[in-house]
């Protein structure tokens, strides 16, 4: 669980669901559906198989079919004093963000171009360049098409003023004016396990982060762990995860050297304090967030009302994922947990089905020997025992 800056707002639901992982998929859907007060149409959308081919054909080009990915729900999240059920899609989809909003609509909602910036690069391999930034308030849209349309519209005027030729007219995914921040404070007691004291874990997490701050090779994997939490939320809500990834890594290198996105420190009272700040250009209008039924249902499940709130929740999930990975690294190591989770996949590859999947996976994990041939041996033995 991650908690950031308690605002005193009463939670709309209780995100703590006992033994959620032990439920069947149908029972999990029923449980979160009841908790979030979802109607049958939204429950059906989350179950899957709801994207018609003709609708998909209108979302991207060259459509030949549809491709679904697993959609899960993370529980036990309290963010800004409010409980959330977090929808998370865990594989890559074909999500194309396309807001076909017009300037007059954006202006009517209180958005629009706010300012311009000009940068001059005296020396490049093709000569001097001038770059003009349009700073646009896109409200609750991701804003890619809006900004691109504006850039193309002003290009002729820029050419007349400058006497030069405009080449590129496109947004930047380094959205450094759309930052989202998360912060968590944990006592050593909250982190303690049977094997390790809380102080030992706190020190290990801070040491691991310190390495990521100075070593770009570690920082790349450290930040990938953060994105393991962020990307699934971005995908599940129909947003452009590629844009979020690009912005995150550009932000991590803004000082001229690639470094950690997060910071983990020990405060004066000995508590572990984690912070994460990064660009988060997410939208709730236009594109797949409006056209994909499951994305719409996921946003309803999440219960956010603005793109800013969605960004805050998403970056908090990233910080939580980062903490979980660092905690594992600071204790038993990352492979123990990874291989235990991977054991189910290996069991399925070996041919296990039904109750045998968990039986084979449990034995693989217990033996710390997660291999397909070993899974087949276990499955063969179970078959003989059942006979």
Q: Are 286 and 97 contacting, i.e. CB atoms less than 8 angstroms apart?
A: yes
240 as an active site residue: the answer is yes
290 as an active site residue: the answer is no
Residue 174: closest CA among 87, 91, 329, 278: 278
Q: Are 66 and 51 contacting, i.e. CB atoms less than 8 angstroms apart?
A: yes
Residue 33: closest CA among 22, 44, 24: 44
CA dist list (Å): 245 to 144, 148, 282 = 15, 19, 12
CA distance 195 to 199: 12
CA distance 8 to 321: 24
CA distance 15 to 29: 14
Catalytic residue among 92, 152, 332, 358: 92
DSSP 77: E
Catalytic residue among 27, 34, 152, 338: 338
Catalytic residue among 101, 240, 309, 363: 240
CA distance 77 to 312: 12
Q: Which residues contact 332 (CB under 8 A, 6 or more apart)?
A: 195
18 as an active site residue: the answer is no
Q: Are 205 and 272 contacting, i.e. CB atoms less than 8 angstroms apart?
A: yes
Residue 267: closest CA among 185, 199, 201, 183: 185
342 as an active site residue: the answer is no
Residue 282: closest CA among 302, 255, 254: 302
Catalytic residue among 44, 133, 215, 224: 224
Q: How many residues does the chain have?
A: 387
Within 10 Å of residue 37's Cβ, how many Cβ atoms?
Answer: 12
- Residue positions annotated with a catalytic role: 92, 224, 240, 338
């Amino acid at each position: 669980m991650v908690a950031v800056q308690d605002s005193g707002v009463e939670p709309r639901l209780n995100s703590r669901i006992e033994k959620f992982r032990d439920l069947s998929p149908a029972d999990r859907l029923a449980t979160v559906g009841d908790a979030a007060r979802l109607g049958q149409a939204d429950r059906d959308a989350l179950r899957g198989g709801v994207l018609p081919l003709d609708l998909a054909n209108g979302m991207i080009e060259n459509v030949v079919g549809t491709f679904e990915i697993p959609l899960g729900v993370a529980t036990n999240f309290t963010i800004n004093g409010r409980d959330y059920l977090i929808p998370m899609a865990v594989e890559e989809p074909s999500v194309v963000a396309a807001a076909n909003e017009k300037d007059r609509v954006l202006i009517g909602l209180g958005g629009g171009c706010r300012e311009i910036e000009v940068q001059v690069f005296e020396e490049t391999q093709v000569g001097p360049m001038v770059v003009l930034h349009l700073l646009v308030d896109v409200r609750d849209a991701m804003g890619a098409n809006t900004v691109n349309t504006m850039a193309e519209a002003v290009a002729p005027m820029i050419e007349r003023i400058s006497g030069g030729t405009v080449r590129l007219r496109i947004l930047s995914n380094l959205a450094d004016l759309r930052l989202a921040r998360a912060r968590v404070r944990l006592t050593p007691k909250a982190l303690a396990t049977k094997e390790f004291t809380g102080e030992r874990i706190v020190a290990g997490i801070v040491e691991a982060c310190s390495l990521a701050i100075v070593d770009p090779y570690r920082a790349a994997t450290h930040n990938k762990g953060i994105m393991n939490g962020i990307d699934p939320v971005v995908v599940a809500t129909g947003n452009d995860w590629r844009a979020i990834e690009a912005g995150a890594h550009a932000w991590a290198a803004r000082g001229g050297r690639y470094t950690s996105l997060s910071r983990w420190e020990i405060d004066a009272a000995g508590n572990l304090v984690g912070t994460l700040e990064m660009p988060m250009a997410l939208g709730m209008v236009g594109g797949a967030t409006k056209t994909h039924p499951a994305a719409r249902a996921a946003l309803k499940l999440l219960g956010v009302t603005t793109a800013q709130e969605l960004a805050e929740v998403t970056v908090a999930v990233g910080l939580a994922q980062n903490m979980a990975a660092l905690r594992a690294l600071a204790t038993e190591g990352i492979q123990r947990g990874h291989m235990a989770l991977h054991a189910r996949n290996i069991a399925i590859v070996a041919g296990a089905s039904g109750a045998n999947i968990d039986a084979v996976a449990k034995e693989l994990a217990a033996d710390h020997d997660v291999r397909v041939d070993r899974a087949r041996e276990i499955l063969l033995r179970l078959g003989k025992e059942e006979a």
